[in-house]
Amino acid sequence: MTKRSPFRYFKTSPEIIRLTVMMYVRFPLSLRNVEDLLHERGIDVSHETIRFWWNRFGPMFAAEIRKKRVQQLRSYSNWQWHLDEVFVKINGERHYLWRAVDHEGEVLEAGSRTTLDICVGQSEVRSWHTHHSVETGVAFSVTLLRFTSECSHSASFR
């Protein structure tokens, strides 16, 4: 059975729909700004149509972009993580806020906890590694892990 095109009931070409949705998502433009830009190019589309296309085709385009990123990730052998940890007082109680960022600037994990424990840090780093290996389908090894401060996670790699 052949896969049907998601654009089959639309009179507008798929290229124009893709251009419109990607303009709205990629640049900080309102629906009316995208409508004006398309009107300057000779394409007459209302802002409500753009919103409808964004709701209908946005998730599909996002899935395509994710697939392409995973393929690029498979070819990229030098995976790096950057780990930030900040100490903050919330309601008079000290909390440890952290986030793990990959080499592309994508936030992999973020969270907070009230205790600073080396064993917890070791288990968290292992779980992040396992989770993101399974999610992307890539069995990678972390070759470099940078820490911005002396945190509990640095003890995990000594």
Model pLDDT for residues 98-151, shown as the tens digit of each residue: 777 777 777 777 777 777 665 556 666 667 666 655 555 444 444 444 444 454
> Between the CA atoms of 72, 73, 78 and 79, what dihedral angle is there, to the nearest 10 degrees?
150
CB count within 10 Å of CB 35 equals: 21
Quote the pTM value.
0.51
- Edge to edge, the sheet with strand 144-147 lists 107-113, 93-102, 80-90, 144-147
Every domain of the chain and the residues it spans: 14-75, 80-157
Model pLDDT for residues 4-47, shown as the tens digit of each residue: 888 888 899 999 999 999 999 989 999 999 999 999 999 999 99
